[in-house]
Each structure stands twice: as C-alpha cells, then as structure tokens.
Amino acid sequence: MTTNHQVHLSDAYVLSPTFLFRWEESQGAHVLLYPEGIVKLNDTGGEILKLCDGESTVDELIDKLTERYDANRVAIAESVIKFLEVSRVKGWIRVTS
C-alpha cells in the first residue's frame, strides 16, 4: 500500500489533535508536545506551523512568509513544501481541504 504525502498549493493544514504547539520559554523555541515526548522546532518550523490554521492554503502560507522575510518566493516555497511533507508523514499536521 502506498500513501500520497504530496503537498498541494491549494491544501490547508491544521495541527493533528494529538499534538500541542506552543512556545516553550525553557527551550527558547516553539515545540510540539505529545503524550510520548516533545519535538523542539527550529525558528522556520515554528513560523510555518503557526500559520497552519486550517484555513490558509499552502500558497497563502508561502505568500505570508515571503512577505515577512522579504525573501525569494521560489526558495520559500521549496522549504515550506518540504517541511509540510515531513510534518504530514510524521503525523504532526493533517490536511483540511
């Protein structure tokens, strides 16, 4: 059985219910908490997950991050899509659209 983990620009993502996303002062980073442990996110990962509200599409996430960081849209898009693909495979997020 194969599973498609491809991210589409029209997809919208939300955090999976088994994870709690928050800023952890003691870690100095955003983290994902789950019953078995904790995942410390880098700054970019935290910024991407903050925008996964279930309403904003991947295309809109890319636009927001491109504007926020005044960066090349193609480079931002590649990084965002790769992060979302990994996050989806790990079960951190799920598609809502």
Which SS3 state, helix, strand or coil, does residue 94 take?
strand
Query: How far is Cα 17 from Cα 63, in angstroms, rounded to an integer?
Result: 26
pLDDT in tens, 75-97: 999 999 999 999 999 999 999 96
- What is the residue-averaged pLDDT of the chain? 93
Instruction: Extract the tokens encoding 72.
Output: 């090349």
Band of residue 1 on the pLDDT scale cut at 50, 70, 90: very low
> Is residue 64 within 8 Å of residue 56, measured between CB atoms?
yes
- CA 17 distance to own-chain centroid: 14
Q: Is the pLDDT of residue 3 over 80?
A: no
Judged against a pLDDT cut of 80, whether residue 4 lies above it is answered with no
pLDDT of residue 2: 41
SS3 of 41, please? Answer: coil
The residue ranges of every structural domain in the chain are 42-95
Q: For 53-79, how does the pLDDT look when each residue is reduced to its tens digit (9 = 90+)?
A: 999 999 999 999 999 999 999 999 999
